[in-house]
Amino acid sequence: MTLRLLLVDDEPLARSRLRTLLAECAAPMAIVDGEASNAAQAMEMLAHAAFDAVLLDVHMPGADGVALARALKALPLSPAVVFVTAHAEHAVSAFELEAVDYLTKPVRLERLQAALQKVERRLSSPAGASGQPEADVLVIQDRGRTERLPLSEVLYLKAELKYITVRTAAKSYILDASLSDLEERHAAWFLRVHRNALVARRAIRALEKHVDPEEGEGWAVRLSGIDELLAVSRRQLTAVRDAVSG
């Protein structure tokens, strides 16, 4: 597969540097089919030609790269977006817009190569070919690193103090979010079992009697992949029973 790319950056030297690096990328092959110095030029080019991916700066005159990425999502066949910027602080916004990758300048060849491979995988998947977004993810910031965590890996979400604990079979993350908002956005994935917890529907293994040190005798849900039990409130008991039996 040869990827057709649009470079969007207000600095000609930055675009030239990207062209040089792209020429050194082995697989997938990529050709630069267009260049734009601002969002308006980019949208004009996208109206007349199809691109597999847009390599996009954030800080530009006029509409910035984040605004352009938001506009690209509304296109019938939206190209993949790879942000290429000197400003790391926009990573969360970028991934919330389903950017394929976020590269910081100066760009290293191996990181650019990896980003192109992600674009190729997206295009070869049924979701990517139809222009639909990738699988649902949570955007996690962990010790200076921004990570897209697929919802399919999450076992539970638990509100603790001001943050949400996101638990997978391998590790735990901290997410600054609202449990109610997560429940509303991802109702197909998660079931509320308590005022402070949502569990992955696919991971529910059993409903068991349980004695909680604070709440006394009651019920708890056991999940596949971890030994930890999560308390089930009386209000949610029927819904959890239905999920187990269903």
pLDDT tens track for 229-239: 999 999 999 99
| Predicted confidence (pLDDT) at residue 90 exceeds the cutoff of 70 | no
| Res. 134 pLDDT band, cuts 50 70 90 | very low
pLDDT at site 89: 72
> Angle at Cα 199 formed by Cα 98 and Cα 226, nearest 5°?
105
Exposed/middle/buried for 22, CB within 10 Å: 0-12, 13-18, 19+?
buried
Lowest mean pLDDT across 4-13, 23-32, 41-50, 129-138: 129-138
Share of the chain above pLDDT 90, in %: 51
Average pLDDT, stretch 56-74? 89
Higher pLDDT, 71 or 128: 71
Higher pLDDT, 176 or 128: 176
Higher pLDDT, 231 or 125: 231
Q: End-to-end CA distance of the chain: give it in Å, rounded.
A: 43
pLDDT tens track for 140-193: 877 667 787 888 899 999 999 889 999 999 999 999 889 998 898 888 889 999
Average pLDDT, stretch 75-80? 81
Higher pLDDT, 23 or 146: 23
Cα gap 243→246, rounded to integer Å = 5
pLDDT at site 98: 79
**Hey, what domains does the chain have and what are their CATH numbers?**
2-132 (3.40.50.2300), 138-245 (2.40.50.1020)
pLDDT at site 135: 45
